[in-house]
A = this chain, B = another copy of it.
């Protein structure tokens, strides 16, 4: 599949989905749409992913594409009307749509009519399956060892760490699979339940359902975590994943130097040791687990600072740690596998 990614005015810092797909997606990306960077290239802005041109709009994409992916997720998940001409052009030229917005494009009257007329599929990744239900409490019964990334906050790199550790494990010949729980992971994997969008009573059940579906076909499952267990807004999602996935081991993800909750700056992050003890003690009555490794996001630091930050983080946690984007994951994998 050849895809274009819409990320107007947000690329790259506030376009988590776009950068995730550029980094890990299997499809061929032919262009990023960002009118504020038109004429530049991805490599001008983001060094460590594949390089593609950045264009003004759908009309400027080089060559035909099979799908337009909405690569940004504004707070609230709404649709920005300034994107409508690009989406319209895509549908008129027979492109499928992939979107992780809370606003479902398949329910937009104009888009659904255009899709029908031009034989296009619209995949609203964040629309949960209708057959989700409550957890049975049986995820621990699958054959696979379950590894879950947990975090000190939102936007610390849990999805990135999960995919990096998965691939490092696969590179060693380990039979491991990815269990995505958020829109970007679901787009990369082509499968998964958007846990933050399911009925709250089904949070654990929607994770369990994925573990049961894949858990007997692999030796390891790497489950993408969400939020933080003490996030003022999103802790419910985190807690449901922790109990629904029944992980055998946890990898604690953090951004070097972050001291306050992202977007909720009146709340300081808790001490690292508190996160470890909270995740472990909260999991224990359902399924015993432990933080066995750490993943530290050091993207904003230089090489020497990053090295020191990882060493300090490992010391604080008392377990192996790495920045899996930047450094090797050997010691962390030894702890996890």
Contact = CB atoms under 8 A, between A and B. Distances in A.
- The number of times this chain is found in the oligomer is 2
A204 interface: yes
Contacts of A200: 195-200, 202-203, 236-237, 240
A243 B237 contact: no
| Interface size grouping (class) on chain A | 35 or more
- Pick the 6 closest A-B CB pairs, nearest first: A236-B240, A137-B232, A203-B236, A239-B239, A135-B233, A230-B285
Interface centre among A197, A236, A237, A286 (most CB of B within 10 A): A236
A285 B274 contact: yes
Contacts of A201: 196-197, 233-234, 236-237
Q: Which of A135, A195, A267, A284 has the most CB of B within 10 A?
A: A135
Contact of A205 (B134, B195, B233): B233
A137 B196 contact: no
Contact of A236 (B76, B237, B277): B237
Nearest to A243: B235
A243 to B, nearest CB: 5
Contact of A282 (B135, B197, B230, B244): B230
A266 B239 CA distance: 20
